[in-house]
Amino acid sequence: MDKHVILREIKRTAEANGGVPLGMEKFARATGITVADWGKLWVRWGDAVREAGYEPNKLQGAYDASDLLERFISLMRELRRFPVFRELDMKHRQDRTFPSSTVFNRFGNKRDIAAAVIKHVEACEGYEDIIAMCQAVTEGGASVDASDEGLGDLPAENFGFVYLVKSGRYYKVGRSDAPGRREYDIGRHRPEGLTTLHVIRTDDPQGIENYWKSRFAERTWVTSGST
């Protein structure tokens, strides 16, 4: 999309909003111009707003609060749930215009982020789904520690492990309830032996496994099932 068209739309929607530029998600709904369009021209939404002649609000650095929260909301709608911190970092690796989890830590822990999102959208229409997801976090009884990568408030039975192993020149991504057990079973049947390269603990082992299997399909071998 032409850069001048985006800048013109930023100015038009800002004037219609009392001289205040729209946040990323509201701008997308109003114009149909998404991060896939402007992200090819600017690293941050605030950069585009600034080039259009407006000054975004600051939040302790390069990202403004509205921009951060709307990016978080965008990921919530993409995942259809409140993201854990590993999912923020995965999104950052996929899309370098998306902030890493450490940037969102400026708001505090997972519950603090949920509260900030609710406050950001509570006066707006069309965010009922977002508020419901956030309330499930803010009204939870367990404590939440940001250092626990956003996973500390989930029951243990929701956790699993996703592993990456190597045998010869091939790799395998799989999931397991207990790290080491599945890898041992697979290794017994590989003449080249087996080396475990990486194991992560996650609340969505099947989703994470499917993502990495799809991404590295050409370099992995297939075994029956995961445990």
pLDDT band at 88 (very low <50, low <70, confident <90, very high): confident
DSSP string, 113-148: HHHHHHHHHTTSSS-HHHHHHHHHHHT-SS---GGG
pLDDT of the residue at 208: 74
Mean pLDDT within 84-95: 85
Distance CA(166)–CA(164), nearest Å, equals 7
pLDDT of the residue at 182: 54
pLDDT of the residue at 178: 63
Better pLDDT: 188 or 150 = 188
- CA distance between the termini of the chain: 46
**44 is written with which tokens?**
């941050």
Mean pLDDT within 185-197: 65
Mean pLDDT within 214-219: 66
Distance CA(112)–CA(107), nearest Å, equals 6
Mean pLDDT of the chain: 75
**pLDDT tops 90 at residue 9:** yes
**Where do the structural domains in the chain lie, given as residue ranges?**
3-148, 156-219
pLDDT of the residue at 146: 37
pLDDT of the residue at 153: 41
- Span 29-84, pLDDT tens digits: 888 898 888 888 987 888 899 899 987 654 334 567 888 898 899 999 999 889 98
